[in-house]
A and B are shown apart, each in its own frame.
Chain A
Amino acid sequence: MDGSKGISGAVHTSFRHDSALKHVSGKAVYIDDMPVPAGTQETALVLSPHAHARVVSIDVSAARAAPGVSAVVTAADIPGHNDIAPVRSGEPALAEGIVDYVGAPVAAVAANTYDEAFAAAKLVKVEYEVLHPVLTIEEAWEKKLFVYDPPKIVHGDAEDAIARSRHTVSGEVRCGGQDHFYLESQIALAVPGEDRDITVYSSTQHPSEVQKGVGEVLGLPANAVTVEVRRMGGGFGGKESQSTIIAAIAALLADKTRKPVKLRLRRDDDMTATGKRHDFLFRYTLGFDDTGRIDGAIIDMAARAGNVADLTPGVLTRALCHGSNAYYIPNVTFRGWPCKTNTVSNTAFRGFGGPQGMIVIETAVEHVARHLGKTVDGIRAVNWYGTENRNVAPYGQTVTDNVMPEIVDLLCREIDYGARVKAVEAFNASHETLKKGIALMPVMFGISFNVPTLNQAGALVHVYADGSVHLNHGGTEMGQGLFVKVAQVVASTFEIDIENIKISATRTDKVPNTSATAASAGSDLNGMAALAAATELKERIGGVVADHFGVRLEAVEFRQNRVYAGNESLSFPEAAELAWRERVSLSATGFYKTPDVHWNPATMTGHPFYYFTYGACVAEVAIDTLTGESRVLAADMLQDCGLSLNPSIDLGQIEGAFVQGMGWVTSEELVWDDKGRLMTHGPSTYKIPGSRDVPPHFKVHLLEDAPNRVPTIFRSKAVGEPPLMLAISVWLAIRDAVSRIGGNRHLPKLDAPATPEAILAAVEDMRARAVAGG
């Protein structure tokens, strides 16, 4: 029942994004585009200018009296609980008593127009008593300021293994954070209803979380709050928990004014007031033998959590779980340090700690290679997870689906990696100013939420008597193509053309208690839930058709928009109408929970991942040894998508994730000043990749004939996050170029992002060491 050629939009076929024609004609409706009821208020926020201060007083009288203003709210106006924490507690929507980062919302103003709200917000007088801000990971770590108890993964005895190892290396490396830079900034439109009911249109990856947060702030039960999202203009993790604060403030103002209220963060406020990818400081020590086989690893991963926990527990857990990437390390101590700083709380971002965990182990593996005078790829080859043995991850899960070595071999053969390396050497021999580097990055990424409870999904499918189908599920569409993939699942289940399926906005009153669309798990979870709902309806319709023609249910077949019963058949609409006439319910919910996942957060052990995805990338770069400028010249990647639900959508995910990851490790630099103010808060100062930055040679291959070994939705694999980490190859290739300057004898001193300034410093340091060390 997969890949039928008889219908349009079957699974395993490339089918374009359901909204593509609306996107190109400007007809796709985002929240700011929605027609709003008369009297809708616009909002401006008052944000803290201080990283850490006591709020002595807030005087809103002048703002309240300003033209057009309908309400000014502070924490004191919150009727429920001023807490929107997604995981823990004590995370306020509006600052109360203390502001603990620059950009913390202190007050919000609603007015008839944005300009009126903007002007009035400037009239809110806040008196602060400035306190000492903790702005660096180091200071927080040293002072043991953490947002929750530091976690660690311990397997075997790393200290002993390292002590007994023939060789050891130790080092320090860091990686920067990353702004999501979704093109549509955070927005919510809250519309009050009867009995204080409220409907919130929120650009969110997590409608149920927004529902919970709004209910918390307004003191309302979940059944009084409805959250809807048709589409986001990008999410990338930035709208998993961060959208709640926006929605909650809009809802608070709507509740107070009894008018619809829209809150759209302008870009600078969005970048200042909402969280980003965690930057990390890593320290590692590895023990290994002459071949480079690693016997023990101690890695400290200190993450900038920001002012509150938010999703840091999940991010740090995933970083720790991916701290050995695709390598088997028998003795491991991975310690996480969730550092509490007076900066905006960092949050989910595509990869969710995975990229950070991989950055440190890849640096350490490179260090082993430089220490032994071997190639990095050679060190990798002796450390892969095994299949029969050497296959237990540090957190206790046995890896049963390892194809990493095969993927790397396939890719290297495909691109003639050896010849490419020789070409790089030849280029470098003939060039003084520019130097090339080339590197491979293997990625082994665990799929499932680390919190088992979150691995559940629901769907709602109606078949109308005219045969048209209405599809709803708990997943959200942020551009990734989830909606079309789930519609393909339903089309293939009913064997009807996808055009008969209406994709509808995600709403908490249709499918309740949903998980965030995150962890790459959107289609795995919601596809399965929709499959369950559609299968249920198919059986009901099939039963009616079987009775109608007097055949057994097993003899009924749904094929190419028809329902066959022996020699007889009905069109799908005829069958639907027949079922309606026979008084059979044509509405079904579907539910799915991922099997076989469990996790003990106390011991940091368990079986957190249903399966792993595998991919590899070879990137080639050039650097300018006079200026530090760099350019990615080539990227070849091979990604395991299982049996892809939609190859062209998956290709888009891989390419897009790679370029986003490339930005993270090259040009995207978040810079704070010594007062804790973000200096890079718009695209004029924060540089995500542009079209020219995409490697001129850019080839993506999907692993062929590779059904998922576990029964996921049509044996596909998740694809949203893993390819982002393939772009670490770019950073490694830059390091390779620097390393080659020193004859591959020294480990480059280069953190991420590798900006021109960072690269030039690494080049000059390498030259100095090469001269000193011969």
Chain B
Amino acid sequence: MIAILDYGVGNVGSILNMLKHIDVEAIITHNPVEIENADKMILPGVGSLDSGMKRLAESNLIDCIKNHASQKKKPLLGICLGMQMLGRRSEEGVLPGLDLIPFDCIRFRLDSPTLKIPHMGWDVVKAEQSDPVVDNLIGLQRYYFVHSYHAICDKPEDILFSCDYGYEFPAAVKHDNVYGFQFHPEKSHKFGMALLKNFASL
């Protein structure tokens, strides 16, 4: 069972729908008991880092997430803003992140007048390491991105996918049992289904 955290920030429905479509059991919840009982957790999110962290705090979910990921070492996946919140901090706001993976987020620094912010649309990624979540993927992998900020990892070994938009940035991160996707697997049809299936099989 995967618990998709509901803290009033965006598109939880589409993640649940895709998991249903690939026959993975999941619930949308902010109930601490249901979260405790789940063997995996997905932290979704859209919008700004401060508003996301504030809502997580107001929903009393910060300790739940840290307990799940740090104490119990159960798989956690952050998506989009949910990934950015896994880091220490972001240029976008003043509130600290969850500090589960050593990275900070910065705004894209682009020189080219043809590259727009946000980085929005489908983009290809490159696997930077071997991992059960990515190892069986064959051919060009495309995912749907919508973001203005991106992670800068302290350690290259925490980068799972890289993507090139003006320069290379981490499109997916991984540190022990904690994963983060900058893109939206739930909106990347067959490519996203393959990834979520792999995460669900961990």
Q: Decide whether A and B assemble into one complex.
A: no
Interface residues of B (CB under 8 A from A): none
